[in-house]
Structure 1
Amino acid sequence: MIFLAMILLGCLLGFAGAGGAGLTITLLSVGFGVPIHTALGVALAAMSFTMLSGAVSHFREGDVLLRLGLTTGGAGMLGAFAGARISDALPGDILSKMTAALMLASSVLLYFILFRKDMLDSFVAKHASKAEGASFYAHALTIGVVTGFLSGAFGIGATAFIQISLMLFFGVSLYHAIGTTMLVILPISVSGGLGYLVNGHLDFYIFLQTLGGLTIGAYLGAKLTRLASRDTLRYIVLSMPTIGGLMLLFK
């Protein structure tokens, strides 16, 4: 049943072009009663494979800033592993609510990225800086550790947080922020998944069902993307973490 449900979820994710780690957590936890710690570990581990394909694709398109991505992602590995260790010490009900809160916060940032790009561009133009030299490494390492910790502790990729941070502190374009974020999240998700494995919360049977279902579903769903308008896709992308966060919060 998990495998079949993940195929359906994968179709939705592939159709809308979204990552879906938060919705994967919600489906496992709320829909199938999987313990929240296990759901987080499975979502992070599965995200490693989706981020790999995404990073390769964006790299071929020239949208990945290697030095920035590798520095930030390398620091993120430390933060993710530490976050997974902290997560292990949190009671399940508290962890569920904190994960839901982070998903809803991501929805707010996604709203500005998807629907108020003019406002976001204006804000970035006024506040963006161009970190160089020692400042470059200080900012990259800080962003990596903080977002890595959030990902490791709460199982989501913190995509919106990383994208906006890269735009504000390094002055990169949205296209480069999206591509580089894929590279940043790749080592974060691998390290976070290993952290949950060490803590004994990575169920390989559930992981294989989740990864297989999402992969098949995403492939099928991507073929339907052009059937929907851009506005429809934007609403679907925004609704997924919002609905998932609310369900997880009030389960």
Structure 2
Amino acid sequence: MSIILVMFIMGLMLGFVGAGGAGVVIAVLSVVFGIPLHTALGTSLGAMVFTTVSGTYSHYRENNVVVKCGVAVGIFGAVGAFGGAKFAGLLPAGDLKWLTAGMLFVSAILLAIRVYFPEWIYSFAKGVSSPAGAKFWGAAGGVGIVSGIMSGTFGIGGMPFILIGLLTVFNMPVHQAAGTTMLISLPIALFGGIGYLINGHLDFSLLTKVVAGLMTGTYIGAKFTRRLPPVILKTTMVAIPVIGGLLLLFGTVR
């Protein structure tokens, strides 16, 4: 019950900021509850499958999903995530701890740029036309494989990396980039989780508790997104991966 309660509280925060939160889930499971790091990684990705379904459907209803781009990048991302999960199984928990913490801090930096300095991203993407034909598939492969490998290896979901890729490489409007990112994250989480399952690092009992807490919390937390000041939303969004990174850096994992 303690895991369900903590995941519910985390779900409130994640629902509020609209983030997957895979990284901080990993940190809490491994440091606070003593779950082996590889199992925490696999469970976190598995939980993302459930938490992104509702978000993807909601964005689709709002016409915020570019389906062709989402499916193409998602297919490549799934391949990368499966390979990344297999690679992570070869890494010692001690090394994986530092690498995952580092990726969480990079995610925080990208999110900070996204929420505090969006004009930097727009200026970089200015004049870039959306790729078509062979270039489209090349771009989809590049964004998908890179984000998939990072997600599968470090279990962090990779949403900030996917979002930046869609904004800059595909020159996608921000609202469509947000919705399409959710669609892309779905196959990445699914095949990353399958990779950890094959490696024996997915605990279904633990997964049930995590999903129960997170989905209940995110449903309630999402209702506060438009009710609290934007500065709180932005600060919380950046703080979540930082907290996860600090937990991993200074906590003990096995």
TM-score (norm 1): 0.96
The aligned amino acid for 1:186 is L
Distance in 2, matches of 1:210 and 1:66, equals: 29
Q: Which residue of 2 aligns with 1:178?
A: 178
Q: Which residue of 1 aligns with 2:149?
A: 149
Q: 1:205 to 1:185 in 2, by over 3 A?
A: same
Is residue 13–residue 20 contact of structure 1 (8 Å, CA) maintained in 2?
Answer: yes
The aligned amino acid for 2:100 is T
Aligned length: 250
Note if 1:237 corresponds to 2:237. Answer: yes
1:155-174 → structure 2 map (5 Å cutoff): 155-174=155-174
The aligned amino acid for 1:79 is G
State the shift of 1:223 in Å.
3.0
State the shift of 1:19 in Å.
1.7
Is residue 129–residue 168 contact of structure 1 (8 Å, CA) maintained in 2?
Answer: no
Q: Which residue of 1 aligns with 2:90?
A: 89
Gaps of 5+ in 2: none
Is residue 28–residue 247 contact of structure 2 (8 Å, CA) maintained in 1?
Answer: no
State the shift of 1:247 in Å.
1.7
Distance in 2, matches of 1:140 and 1:16, equals: 27
The CA deviation string for residues 218-246 of structure 1, in whole angstroms up to 9 with x for no partner, is: 12223333442011111011100011112
Q: Which residue of 2 aligns with 1:228?
A: 228
Percent identical across equivalent pairs? 45
1:1-251 → structure 2 map (5 Å cutoff): 1-125=2-126, 128-251=128-251
TM-score (norm 2): 0.95
State the SS of the aligned residue for 1:62. coil
Distance in 2, matches of 1:208 and 1:164, equals: 31
> CA-atom RMSD, angstroms?
1.2
State the SS of the aligned residue for 1:75. helix
Is residue 15–residue 222 contact of structure 2 (8 Å, CA) maintained in 1?
Answer: yes
The aligned amino acid for 1:60 is R
Distance in 2, matches of 1:119 and 1:233, equals: 20
Is residue 99–residue 154 contact of structure 2 (8 Å, CA) maintained in 1?
Answer: yes
Is residue 150–residue 156 contact of structure 2 (8 Å, CA) maintained in 1?
Answer: yes
State the shift of 1:108 in Å.
0.6
Q: 1:227 to 1:211 in 2, by over 3 A?
A: same
| Greater share of helix | 1
State the SS of the aligned residue for 1:200. coil
State the SS of the aligned residue for 1:223. helix
State the shift of 1:52 in Å.
1.1
State the shift of 1:115 in Å.
0.7
State the shift of 1:249 in Å.
1.9
Distance in 2, matches of 1:34 and 1:129, equals: 46
Distance in 2, matches of 1:214 and 1:155, equals: 16
The CA deviation string for residues 17-69 of structure 1, in whole angstroms up to 9 with x for no partner, is: 22211111111011111111000000000001111111111111111111111
Q: 1:15 to 1:168 in 2, by over 3 A?
A: closer
The aligned amino acid for 1:95 is L
The CA deviation string for residues 115-153 of structure 1, in whole angstroms up to 9 with x for no partner, is: 111222222215x34211101101101211111111111
Distance in 2, matches of 1:132 and 1:223, equals: 38
